[in-house]
Amino acid sequence: MEKTLLRGRVLNFRREPQGPEDTQSFDYFEDGALVMAGGVIEAVGPFETVSAQAAGATVIDHRPNLLMAGFIDLHLHFPQVQVIASWGAQLLDWLNNYTFPEEMRYGDAGHADAMAGAFLDQLIGHGTTSAVGFCSVHRGSVDAYFSQAAQRDMRMIGGKVMMDRNAPEGLCDTPQASYDDSKALIGKWHGRGRASYAVTPRFAITSTPEQLEMAGALAREHPGCYVQTHLSENRDEIAHTLELYPKARDYLDVYQQVGLLSGRSLLGHSIHLEPREIDALAESGAHPVFCPTSNLFLGSGLFDEGGLRARGIVSGIATDIGAGTSYSMLQTLNEGYKILQLQGQALHPYRAFHWITRGNAVALGLEDRIGTLAAGSEADVVVLDARATPAMALRMGRVETLAQELFVLMMMGDDRAVAQTYVAGRAMKPANRG
């Protein structure tokens, strides 16, 4: 089996850093290496040690760049790639004016396939190797998403949006049709290669109680699948949800009552939470997902990561393309840092880079496969260049520590700082793209 050895400075998190001084939470090799074969990492450590065990391997020297696990994005919408940066609306207006008209186009299988390929190439170009995505209501959009991911051998999670009200006629299914389509897609894609399925009711406003019951049935019948939806992003959204579900104790209860709340539930936004909802999240092990660029763009509010953390809740972090304004997990950290600063909550670069790698993998229960460079994990690797732009190079002239370099990357970096992205051991970012 052909082996490839990557040489560079290697950073690999073994657990979540507990503070700026917690250097025991990760391994860092100034002159490091990792060996990849058959899509898996075989060895990682100091170059001298690893190279002695990898005779005959093809050596790719990335020095002085930094090698890390590929980034993981826990919440985005692939049918929205062409409505990013659409001006002037809050959540519900943005959905009606931009998102729904755009998603109508995904009934065309050719268009869905072309956009899925372009979307995945954008992720790779920004250093993201795994993501959790919403497709459109059309089955063909899911086929496009997973088939394009399979061509790239990416570990991806996704699902068909379930919507049967409060959306254009061409985007609405029925409770039974959404169940049947989703079940067929689970049978076709879940566990095939590196694909996993997520049962995907868009959010409570666009589903009737009958459809959410069907979604809950799917989740019970397929416990290995994930559940993804939206929760408490916007005050008007919350008020409208409670009008539609007058018997619910709160927004989260709409999902909880039908069995959609578990440790495999990913709840985008989760900004304006009531005390009972926080209790339920803590008890169930469900994961709120912080989407900072989207929350700022739509004026939705400030995510209370510190408050949720204090309750033992493990939150993810994500771009939320296309209300999110960048595919870059580095820029996502940039905006996330600022949102937390506004609330007196610190996001140290060690914890930040753990969050977009192993931390998001923990939320998925996949930390033994992705988000890590440990031997036996899948060979998804990002190569980061903290001197990628003149401004970054100028700043790096005064950097003295790894933590300072990571902070430069998360505040000033974007796709230009991604020198290369390896997916299942293959270099996937074209050399002519900076």
Residues in contact with 38: Cβ distance below 8 Å, sequence separation at least 6, in sequence order: 1, 425
- Predicted confidence at residue 115, as pLDDT, reads 97
Overall average pLDDT of the 374-399 stretch: 98
- pTM, two decimals, is 0.97
Confidence band of 434 (pLDDT split at 50, 70, 90): very low
Calculate the average pLDDT of the chain: 96
Question: Could you report the per-residue pLDDT of 136-157, keeping only the tens digit for each?
Answer: 999 999 999 999 999 999 999 9
Residue 144's φ and ψ, nearest 5 degrees, are -65, -45
Residues facing residue 12 across a β-bridge: 27
Q: Cα separations (Å) of 96 from 63, 88, 90, 103, 171?
A: 48, 12, 10, 11, 12
Residue 364, token pair as written in the block:
């998925």
pLDDT per residue as tens digits for the range 157-207: 999 999 999 999 999 999 999 999 999 999 999 999 999 999 999 999 999
pLDDT score recorded for residue 92: 81
Instruction: Quick: pLDDT tens for 334-347.
Output: 999 999 999 999 99
Nearest to 159, CA basis, from 178, 133, 184:
133
Taking each helix axis as running N to C, give the angle between helix 175-189 and helix 139-152, from 0 to 180 degrees, rounded to the nearest 10. Answer: 20
Per-residue pLDDT tens for 31-70? 999 999 999 999 999 999 999 999 999 999 999 999 999 9
> Mean pLDDT throughout 346-357?
98
Q: Are strands 3-13 and 26-37 parallel, antiparallel or unpaired?
A: antiparallel
Q: What is the mean pLDDT of residues 389-409?
A: 98
pLDDT of residue 433: 43
> pLDDT-derived band of residue 122, with 50, 70 and 90 as boundaries?
very high
pLDDT at 87 over 90: no
Residue 432: pLDDT above 80? no
Please check the confidence at residue 88 and state whether its pLDDT lies above 80: no
Please provide residue 372's backbone torsions phi and psi, each rounded to the nearest 5 degrees: -145, 155
pLDDT (tens digit, 9 = 90+) per residue, 235-277? 999 999 999 999 999 999 999 999 999 999 999 999 999 999 9
Question: 316 and 360 in contact (C-beta within 8 Å)?
Answer: yes
3-state secondary structure of 176: helix
pLDDT tens digits for 3-12?
A: 999 999 999 9
pLDDT at 1: 83
The pLDDT of residue 89: 78
Backbone dihedral angles phi then psi of residue 324, each to the nearest 5 degrees: -65, 150
Give the C-alpha separation, 386 to 373, whole Å.
20
pLDDT reported for residue 95: 87
Least Cα distance to 128 among 195, 71, 69 occurs for: 71
Tell me the mean pLDDT in the region 353-375: 98
Chain segment 199-235, per-residue pLDDT in tens: 999 999 999 999 999 999 999 999 999 999 999 999 9
